[in-house]
Amino acid sequence: MRVPYPASAFALEGKPDWIRQRLSTWHGIYGPFFEWRKDFPDTRPEAVRDFENMVHGYWGTILSVDDSVGRLVAHLKASGQFENTVIVFMGDNGLLEGEHGMVDKRTMHDPSIRIPILVSGPGLPSGKVVQKQVLTTDLAPSLLELCRAPALEYIQGRSWVKLANRGDSKWRTSWFYEYNYEKQFPYTPNVRGIRTDDWKFIRYPHGDGSPDKHLEELYDLRNDPGELHNLADSPKHARTRTKLEKQLASLLAAEGLTPETDRMPLDEGIKAQLPDQNIR
């Protein structure tokens, strides 16, 4: 099966320079994961061969997980435990497969942060799809409620049991994302950003309190779900940007992360070296 590059793979105009700098690194589509030609962009069949192999391999991995879940469900049904079991099928992160010229994860672009979450079991509706922003931190309080366990005094996240069953008018409409630069994987800057139902704003703090050294990103997700058009420098959207900047600061402060207390490593820039062999 042919696997073409995603639409955003080469749509890097107006994006921060660090994204282009990452193209030939361990986390870029021209990196050492593949035997790339260097005449960018090259979409000839022989040039995309290894990209297709990577995607096929990833699909095979996911299929094996799906098959294993199927065997587990069959065992639960055969042993009479299925009706009393909550099953959660999800991932810990999304995976960039060529989008924005990247592979792997860590960035705040939607292919990196969006994951599936499929849940079945007692106390939950069947066949219902909920289009709200649910986070991985919501899993623990949700399972505690489903198991009728005592709620913890403090826990990050919120239970989605009410949301799943009858809706929740007070459910979140925004949340913040954070990532800290890793010296062993120096291919992504520090990230602090906010995603709402309709917008996303991303900034890249340098780590020492000085002004950000990377261009910010602002996306109108309703009209540009592929995040192709960065509106961060658009005068037309300056008011939206300012509003999101303030909202991001408020969300961070609610978790004790102010400019004075939000500690992060110094962004030492995008580097070409491979990760240590022991952590690959």
What number of residues does the chain have?
Answer: 280
**What is the structure's pLDDT at 31?**
83
pLDDT of 114 reads 94
Which CATH superfamily is 17-133+172-274 part of? Alkaline Phosphatase, subunit A (3.40.720.10)
What is the SS3 assignment for 220?
Answer: strand
User: 41 preceded by cis ω (within 30°)?
Assistant: yes
Q: In angstroms, how far is the first alpha carbon of the chain from the final one?
A: 28
According to the model, what pLDDT value does residue 37 have? 47
CA dist 99 and 164 (Å) reads 31
- The separation between CA 204 and the C-alpha centre of its own chain, rounded to angstroms, equals 16
pLDDT along the chain (280 residues), means of 10: 86 96 91 59 56 86 93 97 94 91 94 94 94 95 93 88 96 97 96 98 96 96 97 98 98 94 96 83
- From 27, 42, 211, 31, select the one nearest 111 (Cα to Cα): 27
Give the integer Cα–Cα distance in Å for 4 and 181: 30
- Domain residue ranges in the chain: 17-133+172-274
Quick check: helix, strand or coil at residue 200? Answer: strand
* Predicted local distance difference test score (pLDDT) of residue 128: 95
Helix spans in 79-130 (H): 110-113
Per-residue three-class SS string for 44-89: CHHHHHHHHHHHHHHHHHHHHHHHHHHHHHHHHHHCCCHHHCCEEE
* Helix intervals (H) in 98-237: 110-113, 139-146, 161-166
* pLDDT of res. 49: 63
**This prediction's pTM:** 0.90
